[in-house]
Structure 1
Amino acid sequence: MQDDRAADDSDAPQWRNFYGRRSGKTIRPSQRTYLAEDLLHLGLRGVSRADNPDRAPLDLAGVFGPDRPVWLEVGFGGGEHMVHMAARYPGIGLIGCEPFINGVAMLLGKVRQAGVSNLAVHPGDVRDLFDVLPAASIAKAFLNYPDPWPKRRHHRRRFVTQDHLLPLHRVMAPGAEFRVATDISDYMRQALLEVPKAGFALVARSGTPWEDWLSTRYEQKALREGRVPDYATFRRV
């Protein structure tokens, strides 16, 4: 996903078109409270160019504490998987990236209910986050039911293109795991083609999810509509 940015002197592209929605139906008053209050301490500082014009690498140890593995979820939707993983693995730090503000609000409500504190949120374009993540800093990454962009002319907007995958490879540690879950067969076809080109090896593919998987609302919708989930595990080489 992409949006226009002011030009600067960094190595990042000067212009980024954003595809998709920033917001949807009206946000409930309680969710507005979450956005106003909780992003103050859960929002990841130093990602925007206003906060970090020099694009200096983020201090992840300062965010999560020293010696914590850091995981990344790209497009966390309603946040149920992200909160589940943060609760199940309290010794890790988990960054979630989601530009759809309604999804961010849903996540913050779930965070309050679960009482987890080992996560941080970037409510914007994941490529801006890639610009400032230190190299080899991510120990595991998740791409769960991403926007399928089904029309062929829109396939370049999918996450599983080199514009996204090469920056992901840079920020992931050697041997780090990258999980992809989708119910769109053509999306998995493209992932199996493009992800290895970016420096990842396919280590597993199955119709059965991972042992620590939490089914999301997007997966439940796919099952109701008769689509078959597909799960692939890649490793950064």
Structure 2
Amino acid sequence: MAAINTQYNPLPQMNTETNKRDKTLEKIASAIQIGMEDSASRSIADMLQNEISLASQGVMNANDGISMMQIAGGTLNSLSDQTQTLNDLSVRYNNASLDDSQKQALQGEFNRTVQSMQQSIDSSSFNGKSLFGSSMSFSLGESTISASIPSLSPSSLSIDNQDGIQAYRDALSQANSDVGSTTNSFVSATTTLLDKISTASAAKSQIADTDMANAIKDFQQSNLKLDMTQIAIAHQNDALRQNVTRLLG
């Protein structure tokens, strides 16, 4: 009588490979990284994501600061040009050969220029807040940059006081220099934050994102083992049928 070999049972191996294959397929579909199954990896990934979020907000705040400085810089440049007009009018006004009507005409032009300058200052704003005579702070995550612009009102300037006009011009020059320095600080901070985002994103990717090539390779290997197990079952069943046929004559 032929003996039936019942010692080898491929079903447990088949179940194992099926579970492995299905699990890998789920990770491919949902982009869950294999190493994220432990809480420590999740905590690190969450921490990195928090760093990325804070740095991203910092970049947006820095860009707001740069935009604000650009508005202020444009107004300061306009004021500088108009201050040159005031100086020219003052030089002409202080010419002893001018009569009263000529001086009155120069005074009128001087006053209109001063009014125009004041209107530029009053209308210069960012997010609804006046820029001149105010200070704003921008949070950049771990650091803060403050931007301050003096009021620089030209209302006290006089056509017969060239020293006062020159002092106002110097104040404009200093304010323009401060705006440039603050803008550079924002730009530098933005570069640092972008580097931080890049580094943190790369680190998070290694922890939290599926390595698609390896995941697909694992899936294929599990599927191949599953196929081999199924072949083994089919072979065993065929051998069993042959044995039973021989037993039954």
> TM-score surpassing 0.5?
no
Structure-1-length-normalised TM-score: 0.19
Structure exhibiting the larger radius of gyration computed from Cα positions = 2
* TM-score w.r.t. length of structure 2: 0.18
Greater share of strand residues, 1 or 2?
1
Structure that is richer in helix per residue: 2
